[in-house]
Amino acid sequence: MNEDTFNNNGGENFSETLSKFHDVVELTRNLVKINSENPIHCEVNVQNFLVSIIEKLGFEYDIIPFSKDRNNVVATFPPSSAVNSQNFHYIMFSGHMDTVLGYEITRSENAPLEDGKIYGRGSCDMKGGIASFLTAISHFTSDYNLNDLEQSSIAKMKKGICVVFTVDEEMGCAGIKALENYDKMGNDFHVDLCINAEPSSLSPVIGHKGIVWIFLDFKGKMAHASVPFLGDNAIEKASKFILALEPLKKELQTRTIEEYPIITPPTISVGVIKGGDETNIVPDNCRIQIDRRLTLNETGESALNELKEIAKQQDLIDDIEFQPIRPKKCYIAPKGTQNEHYLALMDILSGYKTKGAPFMEGFTEAAFYYEQFGITAINLGPGSIEQAHKPDEYVEVDELLKACEIYYKILEKYILEK
């Protein structure tokens, strides 16, 4: 896309230093136009599109299945045939291919570019991030003549580039678990840093809360509503339990961690309540679904035990079945804000107006990379989490361009410097 076309569509004039990355606009829009709503539309079409790009860039790649038409992709550059050392290290860029529902209401089919913003589901979370690091990699390998794979060119690379595309992130980060059995990411695969391109307003995020969903099924006894005393109302039991959560909510807000003041207190939220069948029937069933965000000193089991203790206090313990769903621990990079990679990124970002957001509330795949493979993972991407998952989801073109430049500088630092 030439600059005149870009300015006419976007209505903005961006700095000359960023103009080389204008192709990120078209790439972002093309990704947004591919429907990958989770769970309705599988990611296979996005996967095929992205694979065609990394093939052109000369990456070697593997497809790691998760389920039908849902595959993770791990790609490396240079390909193994061009790497002489067995101790070759990589810098990784990662992004998930799925989006939440809302393809139609966000006008994703056209991915409109209006007032310097690209609209559509996934524009912010996180196809814009994927487009940005692929654009940066494309320009980087071209500018430094790495694409021809000549040994004289490859010798410039002190590290390689690894790219990972994952599936089923929006439904509890389930898809990335398929990488656990991927042999290539074992002990002989050295990744120094993973940049996970989640929307962070271009501020490096070194940690996030853990999460566990806990489903509580309340049991009662059915009866005719005209004689409710003959039944046992499961909805009323659930209501009693929900009200009893208030002291815990307040107490959670006091749980700060002295050595990590950036970590905000844990939270608890009742997100779903379902019960009963008919107005004139005393309900014998009711389910509530609780979202519990965890900090460093907590686990899914400890959160579950707190709820069981409340149930005992309310004489409800025998009336509830508890079901914890996919508990995941809180993550923070080693040494926190003193992590060497975080400090390196902050140095690169010193010329940008970033607010600095070293910790975030939502769970991301960064935790998996560290827990499973010991890879320091930092979230750094264009767009704000406040713009994600909304009916008017968008990403600002200015942030995409800046992201490309930042990723480019990261590549220069990690790939070329000793």
Write the CA distances from 146 to 116, 153, 195, integer angstroms.
33, 5, 21
Examine the pLDDT at 269 and tell me if it is beyond 50: yes
d(CA 406, CA 132): 9
Q: Answer whether 204's CB lies under 8 Å from 345's CB.
A: yes
Q: Answer whether 177's CB lies under 8 Å from 328's CB.
A: no
The mean pLDDT of 3-21, rounded to a whole number, is 47
pLDDT given at position 9: 38
pLDDT given at position 413: 96
Q: Residues 192-230: pLDDT tens digits?
A: 999 999 999 999 999 999 999 999 999 999 999 999 999
Share of the chain above pLDDT 70, in %: 93
Q: Which band of pLDDT confidence, cut at 50, 70 and 90, is reported for residue 187? A: low
Q: Answer whether 102's CB lies under 8 Å from 393's CB.
A: yes
Q: Which band of pLDDT confidence, cut at 50, 70 and 90, is reported for residue 418? A: low
Angle between helices 128-143 and 23-33 in degrees, nearest 10:
140
Q: Residues 121-143: pLDDT tens digits?
A: 999 999 999 999 999 999 999 99
Q: How many CB atoms lie within 10 A of CB 315?
A: 10
pLDDT given at position 181: 84
Q: Residues 327-348: pLDDT tens digits?
A: 999 999 999 999 999 999 999 9
Q: How many CB atoms lie within 10 A of CB 89?
A: 15
3-207+330-416 CATH fold: Aminopeptidase (3.40.630)
Q: Which band of pLDDT confidence, cut at 50, 70 and 90, is reported for residue 184? A: confident
Spell out a b/e string for 155-176, using b for 16 or more CB atoms within 10 Å of the CB, else e: eebebbbbbbbbbbbbeebbbb
In one letter, which amino acid is 389?
H
Q: Which of 57, 82, 60 is nearest to 138 (CA)?
A: 57
Q: Residues 226-244: pLDDT tens digits?
A: 999 999 999 999 999 999 9
Strands (E), 26-80: 60-67, 70-77
* Higher pLDDT pick, 260 / 15: 260
DSSP output for 315-375: T-GGGEEEEEEEEE--EE-TTGGG-HHHHHHHHHGGGS------EESS--THHHHHHHH--
Map tokens 């009336």 to a residue. Answer: 319
Q: Domain spans of the chain?
A: 3-207+330-416, 211-327
Q: Which of 62-71, 262-271, 351-360 has the lowest mean pLDDT?
A: 351-360
Q: Which band of pLDDT confidence, cut at 50, 70 and 90, is reported for residue 18? A: low
Nearest 5°: CA angle at 325, between 322 and 331?
Answer: 125
pLDDT given at position 378: 97
Examine the pLDDT at 35 and tell me if it is beyond 50: yes
User: Residue 150 corresponds to which tokens in the numbers above?
Assistant: 């000549």
pLDDT given at position 14: 43
d(CA 347, CA 409): 11
In one letter, which amino acid is 21?
F
CATH number for domain 211-327, candidates 3.50.50.60, 3.30.70.360, 1.10.10.10, 2.40.30.10? 3.30.70.360
d(CA 176, CA 164): 10
